[in-house]
Amino acid sequence: MLSSEVIVRDASREDLPAFLEIYNDAILNLTATFDIVTQSMQEREDWFRQHGGRYPLVAAEVEGHVVGYCSISPYSKKAGYASTVELSIYVQRDYRRKSIGKLLMKEIIERARELGYHAIISIIAGDNQASVEIHKKFGFELVGHLRQVGYKFSKWQDVDYYELPL
């Protein structure tokens, strides 16, 4: 746990440099994303514009510094999936396992409920035990397992689907 207060708030365009740094670190060091080339600021700006309204994006801030973010996005472009969203969460490396993720997850799940969504899906690399643990704490259940469908770090990776019915 942190000794400083964590503020979870709506993300703003000013957060983009921190989001880019956090995400690019994940690209280079984690299987939390299967992007393999770091992103540019323009790519993060394009991503940012897809959020807000029905697809909230929240930031975690400690002492004025953004240390994590969480969002929901459309699970699929097909109309029949409109009530299902996909959750993404990223925390800066020095702030992992310090309850930042819990605060972000709690906020985004509450918002998804308020927006009337039916289910949240998270797609998690099979070796990402920290992500599995936090999802299970919030009631997500394993609903699917895909073997060796992602390739990263010179290795085939399994991917698991977790679902939280709302």
Integer Cα distance of 160 and 140 in angstroms:
12
Q: Classify the C-alpha dihedral 26-32-38-40 as positive or negative.
A: negative
pLDDT band, very low/low/confident/very high, at 37 (cuts 50, 70, 90): very high
**Cα-based angle 62, 67, 69 (whole degrees, multiple of 5):** 120
For residue 2, what pLDDT is reported?
66
Q: Report pLDDT digits (tens) over 92-151.
A: 999 999 999 999 999 999 999 999 999 999 999 999 999 999 999 999 999 999 999 999
**What residue segments make up the domains of the chain, in order of their start?**
6-165
Q: Report pLDDT digits (tens) over 2-26.
A: 668 999 999 999 999 999 999 999 9
What would the two tokens of residue 59 be? Answer: 């930031």
Q: Are 8 and 60 in contact (CB under 8 A)?
A: yes
- What number does CATH give the domain 6-165? 3.40.630.30
pLDDT band, very low/low/confident/very high, at 1 (cuts 50, 70, 90): low
